[in-house]
Amino acid sequence: MERITISQLQNWKKTKKKFAAITAYDFSFSRLFSNQGIPVILVGDSLGMTIQGHTSTLPVKIKDIEYHTKAVRKGAPNTFLLSDLPFMSYYDTRETLKNTGKIIRSGANMIKIEGGKWLVEIVKELSNRSILVCGHIGLTPQSFNYLSGYKIQGRDKNDANKLIDEAYLLEESGIKMLVVECIPEKLAEKITANLSIPVIGIGSGKNTDGQILVMHDLLGITQGKIPSFAKNFLSESGSIQKAIKKYIDEVEKGIYPGKKYSF
């Protein structure tokens, strides 16, 4: 795979080329995903549940993200690599800069942080230092206690308008990509159309610039409740390699997620 850059992702948005992304946490899977043509990988704090066996992402620490980022980068040297800043690792500018430095030095191209308006100054500080930032709005798993669980966001008009405003604010502050999670398809479509940066959806319909899934959901090996928007690509493919190829193909053609996997 040729080296994927933020400029390339931005150009894909302009040319309306959809792209697939996936989470990964180790060398072997990241190499497999890269070899099959996945352009974007996220070292997500979802590792708290998928790897560590916790019931949420909250126990994940910076050292965990560092460790897994290094492993994934070795497996996917040319993939565009995002890494999450975990819970309470970006509560002020000084702490954010320190922790971001650790993650970037571990091999990430971009860091991802969850939240809206309160992140504006932190995003500006990071952007002023030429650090690529991905925002994350809608269902933000680090806030699941505040949100009273993992629920669809932006269903009523006020909540939808708040998410739209937050998307604009974050882009103005300097984010170069945005993840929208578990919001209605029409809302995700509107946000995507009105931002100049790539928007990646998860559980938010097919009209975003890209799609991302947790690898365990995509491969049908999730323990416990499987998200309603997750499709088991392995069950109809016969091998992991073919499942990844099918996922990429369906995302690029706008087949996945269809109505069955959208809100």
User: Where do the domains of the chain lie?
Assistant: 6-261
Cα–Cα dist 34/262, whole Å: 27
* Residue type at position 51: I
**pLDDT for 259:** 87
Cα–Cα dist 126/121, whole Å: 9
Cα–Cα dist 50/260, whole Å: 24
- Locate tokens 């029409």: which residue? 186
Q: Which residue numbers belong to the known binding site for Mg(2+)?
A: 45, 84, 114
Closest CA to 183 of 215, 134, 219, 229: 229
* Residue type at position 128: N
- Locate tokens 């073919």: which residue? 242
Q: Which residues contact 63 (CB under 8 A, 6 or more apart)?
A: none
What residues does 19 pair with on adjacent strands? 210
225 burial type by CB count under 10 A (0-12 exposed, 13-18 middle, 19+ buried): exposed
Q: What is the pLDDT along the chain (263 residues), one digit of tens a residue?
A: 799 999 999 999 999 999 999 999 999 999 999 999 999 999 999 999 999 999 999 999 999 999 999 999 999 999 999 999 999 999 999 999 999 999 999 999 999 999 999 999 999 999 999 999 999 999 998 886 766 566 789 999 999 999 999 999 999 999 999 999 999 999 999 999 999 999 999 999 999 999 999 999 999 999 888 899 999 999 989 999 999 999 999 999 999 999 898 88
Closest CA to 186 of 213, 162, 212, 208: 208
**pLDDT for 219:** 97
Is the CB of residue 45 less than 8 Å from the CB of residue 86? yes
**pLDDT for 68:** 98
Is the CB of residue 137 less than 8 Å from the CB of residue 175? no
Q: Which residue numbers belong to the known binding site?
A: 45-46, 84, 112, 114
Q: Which residue numbers belong to the known binding site for 3-methyl-2-oxobutanoate?
A: 45-46, 84, 112
At 259 the three-state DSSP class reads helix
Q: How far is CA 153 from CA 206, 242, 251, 256, 263, in A?
A: 17, 33, 23, 21, 10
* Residue type at position 190: K
According to DSSP H, which parts of the chain are helical? 6-14, 27-35, 47-50, 62-75, 93-105, 120-128, 157-173, 185-194, 215-218, 240-252
Is the CB of residue 144 less than 8 Å from the CB of residue 87? no
**pLDDT for 144:** 64
- Locate tokens 């945005």: which residue? 178
Give 43's DSSP letter: E
**pLDDT for 33:** 98
CATH of domain 6-261: 3.20.20.60
Q: Which of 66, 166, 181, 185 is catalytic?
A: 181
Encoded tokens for 124: 């500006």
Cα–Cα dist 9/214, whole Å: 20
Is the CB of residue 18 less than 8 Å from the CB of residue 210? yes
In the residue annotation, 181 being an active-site residue is answered as yes
